[in-house]
Amino acid sequence: MKKNLIFDICFYPKKYLSLITCIEHVNNILKIQQQYLYKEQDWYLCSTTKKKSSIHKGFDRNGVTEIGLHKLTKEYNKDKKHFCLGIWDKKTEEAGLVYSIYEQTCGQPFKVEIRLDYDVLLSEIALNNIQKFCLALSEQFDGAYIMVNNNYEIEKQIFPDRLSAAWMIYLPEVQLSHNMVPQAFDVISGTDHEEQAAGSLVITVPHFFDEKNIDDIKAVNRVDTKLHELGLLPLYADI
C-alpha cells in the first residue's frame, strides 16, 4: 500500500534570493532525499500539461542541467517579486517538488515555501529516516518551520488557523525536551548548518500518521494543545 508523504518548509530570507541560491537549495534537497528517502535522480520541469512537463529535464545526478538553467533563468527574470520552480519524477510519477519565493506586502519582506510530495510504499517508510530527513533539511534552512503531513482535513484540527504538529513538526529557534511535551512520542533537538543548537523536532506518533485513525487525530490534538500552551504554535497568518 502506498501513502502520500508531504513535507512543507517555510522560512524568511533577509533578502530576495538569487536564482543560483534557489537552485542550490533545490540541489541540496535532492541530495538529502537520495540519502534518506527517495533515490531517483532525474527531475523534469513542471509545466501546464503532463505532456509539456515531460520535455525538459531540469535536474539530474550532477545538479541543474543546461536546459534547466536556461528555462529557470528565463522564468526568474519574468518577475523579480515572485519565482516558482516545480519539478517532478517523470519516470515513476510518484514525487514532486515546488519551490516558491515571493515578496510580501506585510510582515516579513520575503518568504520561501517548499513542498515535497511523495507516494511511498508504507513498508518503505522508516520513522528513523523521516526524522533524519527533517533534521538534515533544518540544517540547510536556518529558521525554517518544517511540517510532515500537515495537510489533513481542517475539520479535524483543534486550531485550524494555526500550524499543526500533524505527524512531525520542526520548530526553529526553540529548545524543547520530551519532558516539556510529554504528549508527543518523541522530541529531538536539531542543529543549524554550523552545528549549533537551533530547534526541535516534535514527533506525535511512532508510525505513519493516518488522518482517518481517530487515535492518531487525538494524539495530534493533544500535542497541538500543549504546543499552543507553550506559545509555540504560530498562526498561519504570522508565518
- For 179-233, what is each residue's pLDDT tens digit? 999 999 999 998 777 777 789 999 999 999 999 999 999 999 999 999 999 999 9
Q: What is the pTM of this model?
A: 0.94
For residue 109, what is its C-alpha cell?
519582506
Instruction: Please compute the mean of the pLDDT values over residues 106-116 and round it to a whole number.
Output: 88
pLDDT attached to residue 105: 67
How many alpha carbons fall within 13 Å on the CB side of residue 148?
A: 28
pLDDT, one tens digit per residue, over 129-144 is 999 999 999 999 989 9
pLDDT attached to residue 18: 96
Q: What phi and psi, each to the nearest 5 degrees, are found at residue 75?
A: -70, -40
Residues 6+ apart with CB under 8 A from 33: 116, 133
